[in-house]
C-alpha cells in the first residue's frame, strides 16, 4: 500500500484529494497548520472513512503543524517509517493563496510557499522519499500570453503569490538535475478549481469575505451577501466580462491520482520534472456562469457591475492536451455539475464546516 503525505490536506483542494486517495486504498497522512482551514473538515473525513465500508482498508492520520518546522516534519516521517509503512509520495498543497494578501505581506508568502517547500524537500531527502506532486497555478503564465495556454507558454507572474509558485517550479527543476537523489517531480498548474463533493459533505469554506467568484455567488444565493460585484463589463469578450477555465474539484482531485500513478508508473523517471495544466480547455464568462448557476439551481443572483479588478486578464483557459497525453486524464464534469455541487454544499452547510 502506498502511503501519501498530503500537506495542506485540511484545505479546500486537499480534503477532496484525501477523500479520493482513501477511496483508492492509499494510506493518507495529512499535515496542516489549520491556518486557513477548519479541523471539522478533518473530522468529517474521518467520519466519512469510518462510515464507508469500501475505504475502511486504508489508513488516515492527521498531524497539526507547520511545514516550516523541520523537527515536526521529521517526526511525521519518522513515525511512519517506524510503523513499517514509510511515506513514499508527497502531494504538497500547503501554502498561502491570496493574490491580494501576497501584495500586502510578501515576506510571509515567500516564507511559507518557498521556504516551507524547501523544508519538505529537505526532510524527503533525509527519508529517501522522491515522488513529489506540487500545487502550482495558471497565474504564473505571462499576462501577454493568449489562451489556450500551453505548458511551454512564457512564465512571468505579476504578483508575489504567482512569483512564489514560479520560484518553486525553478527549485524543483534544479533538484531534478541532482543525480544523487533521483527526484520525480510533477507540477500541476491549476486553472480555476470550483464546486464541491457531490455528497455535500465537503466543499469550499473561505474565511471572511470570499475573494473568488464561486463562493461569492453561493453566498449571494443564500442571502449571506446582497449582491455580486462583477469586475468590469468592457473586457474584449462577447459579453464584456472575463472568461476563465473553471474545473470541478473532483476532476482536479482525479488529476492528482493520475499524477501519482504517473510518478509511480513502470517507467523509471530517474530525476525528472514535468509541468502539466489541469484545466478543462473550456472558457466561461462571468455573466454566462451567473446565468447557468441561476438556471441549474432555480434561483436569482443579484449582480451589479463595478470597475475592473487590478491584475485581472480578459481571457484565461488551458490547453489540457498534455494532461491527456502524459497522465491519461481529462475532465469529466461540466459547468452545470460545478454549479449544482457548489450550491448543494452551500445549502447543506450555510456557515461552512
- Min dist CB 155 to ligand NAD, Å, is 14
How many residues touch ligand NAD under the rule CB under 6 A: the total is 27
Site for ligand UDP in 144-203 (CB under 6 A): 192
58 binds ligand NAD per the rule CB under 6 A: no
Nearer to ligand UDP (CB atom), residue 48 or residue 345: 345
Q: Out of 94, 133, 242, 327, which residue is the one contacting ligand NAD (CB under 6 A)? A: 94
Q: How far is the CB of 179 from ligand NAD (least distance, A)?
A: 28
Please state, in angstroms and rounded to a whole number, the distance separating the CA atoms of residues 131 and 351: 37
Closest CA to 121 of 113, 130, 112: 130
**Site membership for ligand NAD, residue 14 (CB under 6 A):** yes
The answer to whether residue 161 is catalytic is yes
Summary count for the chain: helices (H), strands (E): 12, 13
Q: Which helix (H) or strand (E) holds 217?
A: helix 213-221
* 67-86: contacts with ligand UDP (CB under 6 A): none
Residue 138 beta carbon to ligand UDP: minimum distance, rounded to whole angstroms: 8
Q: Is 312 in the site for ligand UDP (CB under 6 A)?
A: yes
Residue 323 binds ligand NAD, judged by CB under 6 A: no
- Cα within 13 Å of Cα(158), Cβ side: 10
Contacting range for ligand NAD; rule: CB under 6 A; set: 94-102, 224-232, 239-247, 321-329:
94-102
Nearer to ligand UDP, 42 or 320 (CB): 320
**Of ligand NAD, ligand UDP, none, which one does residue 60 interact with (CB within 5 to 8 Å by kind)?**
none
Site for ligand NAD in 259-278 (CB under 6 A): none
Number of residues that bind ligand UDP (CB under 6 A): 14
Closer to ligand NAD at the Cβ: 97 or 269? 97
Selection from 245, 250, 244 nearest residue 200 by Cα:
250
Nearest residue to 193 (alpha-carbon basis) of 318, 325, 329 = 318
The CB-of-228 to ligand UDP minimum distance in angstroms stands at 6
Strands 228-231 and 272-278: unpaired
Considering the rule CB under 6 A, would residue 212 count as an interface residue with ligand UDP?
A: yes
My answer on whether omega of the bond before 148 falls inside 30° of 0, hence cis, is yes
Which residues, 6+ apart, have CB-to-CB distance to 83 below 8 Å? none
C-alpha cell at 250: 473532483
Say if residue 144 is exposed, middle or buried (CB neighbours under 10 Å; 0-12, 13-18, 19+).
exposed
161, 216, 246, 317: the catalytic one is: 161
Choosing from 5, 20, 26, 33, the residue that interacts with ligand NAD (CB under 6 A) is: 33
Three-state SS across 334-348?
Answer: CHHHHHHHHHHHHHH
Site for ligand UDP in 215-244 (CB under 6 A): 216, 228-231, 242, 244
The length of the chain in residues reads: 353
Do 213 and 219 contact (CB within 8 A), yes or no?
Answer: no
Phi, psi of 295 (to 5 degrees): -70, -50
Pick the stretch among 49-57, 61-69, 101-109, 228-236 that binds ligand NAD (CB under 6 A).
61-69
Spatial neighbors of 120 by CB under 8 A, at least 6 apart, are: 7, 67, 73, 90, 92
Burial (CB count <10 Å: 0-12, 13-18, 19+), residue 22? buried
Binding mask 242-281 for ligand UDP (x = CB under 6 A): x-x-------------------------------------
Hunting for cell 510503523 — which residue is that?
83
Contact residues for ligand UDP (CB under 6 A)?
Answer: 192, 211-213, 216, 228-231, 242, 244, 286, 309, 312
Q: Which residues are catalytic?
A: 161
Contact residues for ligand NAD (CB under 6 A)?
Answer: 8, 10-14, 32-37, 66-68, 93-97, 112, 116, 135, 137, 190, 192-193
Amino acid at each position: 500500500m502506498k502511503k501519501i503525505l498530503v500537506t495542506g490536506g485540511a484545505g479546500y483542494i486537499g480534503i477532496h484529494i484525501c477523500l479520493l486517495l482513501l477511496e483508492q486504498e492509499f494510506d493518507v497522512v495529512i499535515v496542516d497548520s489549520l491556518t486557513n482551514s477548519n479541523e471539522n473538515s478533518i473530522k468529517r473525513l474521518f467520519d466519512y472513512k469510518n462510515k464507508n465500508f469500501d475505504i475502511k482498508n486504508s489508513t488516515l492520520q492527521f498531524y497539526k503543524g507547520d511545514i516550516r518546522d523541520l523537527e515536526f516534519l521529521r517526526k511525521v516521517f519518522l513515525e511512519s517509517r517506524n510503523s513499517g509503512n514509510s511515506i513514499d509520495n508527497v502531494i504538497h498543497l500547503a501554502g498561502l493563496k491570496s493574490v491580494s494578501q501576497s501584495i500586502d505581506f510578501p515576506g510571509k508568502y515567500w516564507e511559507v510557499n518557498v521556504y516551507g517547500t524547501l523544508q519538505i524537500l529537505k526532510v524527503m531527502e533525509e527519508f529517501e522519499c522522491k515522488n513529489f506532486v506540487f500545487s502550482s497555478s495558471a497565474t504564473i503564465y505571462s499576462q501577454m500570453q493568449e489562451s489556450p495556454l500551453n505548458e511551454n507558454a512564457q512564465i512571468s507572474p505579476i504578483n508575489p503569490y504567482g512569483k512564489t509558485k514560479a520560484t518553486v517550479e525553478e527549485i524543483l527543476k534544479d533538484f531534478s538535475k541532482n543525480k544523487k537523489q533521483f527526484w520525480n517531480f510533477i507540477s500541476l498548474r491549476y486553472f480555476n478549481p470550483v464546486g464541491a463533493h457531490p455528497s455535500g459533505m465537503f466543499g469550499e469554506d473561505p474565511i471572511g469575505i470570499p475573494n473568488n467568484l464561486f463562493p461569492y455567488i453561493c453566498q449571494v444565493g443564500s442571502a449571506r451577501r446582497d449582491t455580486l460585484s462583477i469586475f468590469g463589463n468592457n473586457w474584449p469578450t462577447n459579453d464584456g466580462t472575463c472568461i476563465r477555465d473553471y474545473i470541478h474539484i473532483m476532476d482536479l482531485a482525479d488529476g492528482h491520482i493520475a499524477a501519482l500513478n504517473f510518478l509511480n508508473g513502470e517507467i523509471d523517471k530517474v530525476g525528472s520534472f514535468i509541468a502539466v495544466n489541469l484545466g478543462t480547455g473550456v472558457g466561461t464568462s462571468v455573466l454566462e456562469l451567473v446565468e447557468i448557476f441561476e438556471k441549474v439551481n432555480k434561483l436569482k443572483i443579484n449582480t451589479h457591475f463595478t470597475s475592473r479588478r487590478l491584475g485581472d486578464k480578459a481571457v484565461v483557459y488551458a490547453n489540457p492536451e498534455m494532461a491527456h497525453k502524459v497522465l491519461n486524464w481529462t475532465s469529466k464534469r461540466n459547468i452545470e455539475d460545478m454549479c449544482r455541487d457548489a450550491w448543494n454544499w452551500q445549502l447543506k452547510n450555510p456557515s461552512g464546516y
